[in-house]
A and B are shown apart, each in its own frame.
Chain A
Amino acid sequence: MSRLDAIAERLDSAAAKASAMAQLSTGADAITLDEAYEIQARSIARRLSRGESLVGIKMGFTSRAKMVQMGVADLIWGRLTDAMMLEDGGEASMEDYVHPRIEPEIAFRLSRPLSGNVSLPEAISAVEAVAPAMELIDSRYRDFKFSLEDVVADNCSSSGFVIGAWSKPPADIANLGMVMRFDGRPVEIGSSAGILGNPWRSLVAAARLAGRYGFHLAPGHIVLAGAATAAQPLKAGLHVSLEAEGLGRVDLKVKGEAA
């Protein structure tokens, strides 16, 4: 087994067993960014070989604050599989994750292929529907600490997502209020402007970045545009909801009783 395959196997196993592992960057496994994307591809390939299917991609580091915090100059992306999809109004189980957090997002569904350098109007015209969404992020690294390469290899911490009802894309999604509540109380209040100033820009970046690594967005694929606010840690028994201005709402329950 090659070095990259071995790391991919460890990350896949950590995700499958919901057990944390040491960072790559702080040990003997330091990798380049290109290697990190290759590990991600091989790690997800293991899931696909177990019968999962690719349904789209997620974008990360879409806020300027996050980029500055991580000391990076570009976005990152990860793969979404059908097994990561949770049902709107359904349940998530803490047992499936190491230390899950949830964040408010906007999801796009494509009706046309989108890959490489595309213009904003091209990206918009490839979208058939938009929906409010929440992503569960769950780093497989201990204490949620990682380098840029670490997190890319770990599929950008992506571990689950829930999408609300799809609607036709509104003309203007640049400044939609986003209110995420735990048990009815607001825990994050923000605007879709937190996603690169305008979530459509995230789609342009998605086509460019995924294309660079040989992933071509296809009709039916979903793109999670990135977090509009900071993420919040999940706990057993929580009822999480997101309302997005003009897009409606999406709900998720975490199994179990509140501690």
Chain B
Amino acid sequence: MTNDILAEIAADLMEAEGKRQPVAPVRDRIASGSIEDAYRIQFINTERGLGAGRRLVGRKIGLTSAAVQKQLGVGQPDFGALFADMAFGDSEPVPMGRLIQPKIEAEIAFVLDRDLTAERLTFADIISATAYALPALEIVDSRIADWKIGILDTIADNASSGLFVLGSHPKRLGEFDPVLCGMVMERGGDQVSLGAGAACLGNPLNAVKWLAEKMVEVGTPLRAGDVVLSGALGPMVPAGVGDVFEARINGLGSVRAIFE
């Protein structure tokens, strides 16, 4: 495919984000239908973000549940870029004005203290490179109207990243059970999502390992200090102005997102 068309799609998505005006699905404009071209669109916007002085602080992993993969007809996760300006702290107000049609999900965030540059990695590499884990709320958003996304749409659109909120009580791997940790998310005190670590590719470390190898493959390895949002532990739910969400992940503590 010509770079011109990919650049044009990237520009449309960036404009949609900037103006909070979603666009029609872009998948039909990616004539090759290839996932690689969809990532090329994403990378154009990541580069533009870096060029504009945004600070890259990590990556998010998406499509980590069997149900969502089936829904989109794919057999693997995807990833998107996380910038510092997308990050919020526990209980810090989240401005709804920055979002179009947000949904929220609870995840485990892994924070690295080593680069992961080898092409093939082991669980031992991932565990050794993880400084600590935090409970996190990922606020996903789509620049595609009405969330009518296919796999190419979401990859081109930075894996439907929006904003994210991190908890504040770091735990080392070994201090909690990444597979069996229970997860409950409440909106205004009412349960809206339940799950456990196993919902993320059977084990969230699988998602981190997949991401780390993928980032080496595409030439931008994960680095010390990177935050990795590893994938949802339960179903995502829509978020609206005034909503207060709290997620508790057993052994990891809690994190709150307050939408204003």
Give the interface of A toward B (CB within 8 A). 64, 175-179, 186, 189-194, 197, 228-229, 243-246
Contacts and interface: CB of A to CB of B under 8 A. Distances in A.
A176 B182 contact: yes
B191 A176 contact: no
Contact of A177 (B190, B191, B202, B250): B250
B179 A177 contact: yes
B195 A175 contact: no
A193 B182 contact: yes
26 contacts: A175-B183, A176-B250, A177-B177, A177-B183, A177-B197, A177-B198, A178-B182, A179-B180, A179-B196, A179-B198, A189-B196, A189-B198, A190-B194, A190-B196, A191-B183, A191-B194, A191-B196, A193-B184, A228-B194, A229-B194, A245-B177, A245-B180, A245-B181, A245-B182, A245-B196, A246-B180
A27 B249 CA distance: 47
A192 B182 CA distance: 7
A189 B234 CA distance: 8
Given A197-B191, A245-B196, A245-B250, A191 B179 contact: no
A69 to B, nearest CB: 14
Given A193-B191, A245-B196, A179 B179 contact: yes
Interface in B173-203: 177, 179-184, 190-191, 194-199, 202
A178 B183 CA distance: 10
B59 interface: no
A177 B184 contact: no
Interface in B15-49: none
Given A175-B183, A175-B250, A177-B182, A191 B195 contact: yes
B251 to A, nearest CB: 8
B200 to A, nearest CB: 10
A186 B202 contact: yes
Which of B177, B181, B182, B194 has most chain A Cβ within 10 Å? B182
B248 interface: yes
Which of A176, A192, A245 has most chain B Cβ within 10 Å? A245
Contacts of A245: 177, 180-182, 196, 250
A175 to B, nearest CB: 4
Contacts of A244: 180
A243 B202 CA distance: 13
Interface string B77-108: 00000000000000000000000000000000
B28 to A, nearest CB: 35
A190 B66 CA distance: 14
Contacts of B234: 189
Contacts of A192: 182
Given A177-B177, A177-B197, A190-B196, A64 B182 contact: no
B100 to A, nearest CB: 28
Contacts of B177: 177, 245-246
A189 B202 CA distance: 10
Nearest to B250: A175
A74 to B, nearest CB: 18
Contacts of A186: 66, 198-199, 202
A64 to B, nearest CB: 7
A64 B177 CA distance: 27
Contacts of A228: 194
A64 B180 CA distance: 23
A190 B198 CA distance: 9
Nearest to B193: A191
A132 to B, nearest CB: 11
A162 B234 CA distance: 26
B180 to A, nearest CB: 4
A209 to B, nearest CB: 22
Which of B190, B202, B248, B250 has most chain A Cβ within 10 Å? B250
A22 B188 CA distance: 42
Q: Which 3 A-B pairs have the closest CB atoms?
A: A177-B196, A191-B182, A193-B184
Interface in B196-217: 196-199, 202
Given A64-B191, A178-B182, 9 more contacts: A175-B250, A177-B177, A177-B197, A177-B250, A193-B182, A193-B191, A228-B194, A245-B177, A246-B180
A191 B197 contact: no
B136 to A, nearest CB: 16
A189 B184 contact: no
Which of B177, B184, B199 has most chain A Cβ within 10 Å? B184
Contacts of B180: 176-177, 179, 243-246
